[in-house]
Structure 1
Amino acid sequence: MSEKQVSLYIAVSLDGYIADEDGSVSWLESIDSEGDAGYEAFFDNVDTVVMGRTTYQQIFSLTDTFPYSKKDVYVFSNTKAGTQDEYADFVSGTVDNWLNEISGEHVWLVGGAQLVKQFLKEKAIDRFVLTIAPIILGKGIPLFEQDDTHTLELEEVARFGQFAQLIYRNVEE
């Protein structure tokens, strides 16, 4: 495993979904929150952002400006690997190889579910910052698919309006 610090910082419904069946996260906008749930401090601390292609495409439906332009951005994509656009470099291969190739030290794993699964498989997530939304979607895209057991240690619990944030550290070597 790489010496980089990888953090999964993500919002999830109470029943474990990161998006509805259509891939939308618009349900998050209807929930009252206080402050930014520590987002700005977290964001200031990362130098590299990584996500899957579907998550990358979703960003452009949510905002007019690309929110990660001041960071090194990588998108895992089998179809566009080896290319880049004005915002990101498109990569493929194993997570471990990619982590060894980049220069960044603190990586934010934005999502989505398939990339999270790949990072988990390679035991490459050091911190899990899960912001739990008070909504039960009933169906959608789950954050964690069936996988091996991963042992975590609770570091912090915080409340931001109706959101609860749980921060866990991976204790596996």
Structure 2
Amino acid sequence: MVRYVYCTASTLDGYLADDADSRDWLLNVPGAEQAGAFASFLDGVGTLVMGSTTFDWVYRHERLDEHPERWHDAYADRPAFVFSSREVAPVAGADIRHLHGAVSSHLAEIDAAAAGGDV
């Protein structure tokens, strides 16, 4: 059975991003250098699901248009689903699927892509 795990970095008051939709604050807090913990978490993850604002920030922050290998370095060959009402930028060689609408209407596809891992 697929397990859905919500993993996020957020401020104590519940925000994922600052007023400019940036997550740069995350890189300036104590413990931000513990990327190994996130990599260990990803070991059990079969597929990723995120919103377009998160994806767009990762795309800009990692400069994925120039360095698509950074996506692969972080997420390996896991499929990723990005929910958005608009198309998202492609990342060369990455299995990133653009979806829109209710998450519940895509659960079968997401579960299948997880291949027994967590979502």
Q: TM-score range by the shorter chain?
A: 0.7 to 0.9
Contact 1:75 1:90 in 2 (8 A): yes
1:94 maps to 102
Larger-gyration structure (1/2):
1
Per-residue CA shift, 1:30-65, capped at 9, x if unaligned?
A: 222173473122111101011111211110222242
Higher normalized strand content (fraction of residues):
1
d(CA) in 1 for partners of 2:34 and 2:109? 35
Equivalent residue, structure 2, for 1:20: 18
TM-score, normalised via structure 1 length: 0.52
Greater fraction of residues in helix: 2
Name the aligned partner's letter for residue 13 of structure 2: D
SS in 1 for 2:10: strand
Q: How far did 1:80 drift?
A: 2.7
Percent same amino acid at aligned positions? Answer: 29
The runs of 5 or more residues in structure 2 that have no matched partner are 64-69
When the two structures are superposed, what TM-score results if normalisation uses the length of structure 2? 0.73
Q: Alpha carbon RMSD of aligned pairs, Å?
A: 2.3
Cα separation, partners in 2 of 1:69 and 1:37, compared to 1, 3 Å = closer
Shift of 1:17: 1.2
For CA contacts below 8 A with separation 6 or more, give which structure has more relative contact order: 1
Q: How many residues align?
A: 103
Cα distance in 2 between the residues matched to 1:8 and 1:97? 18
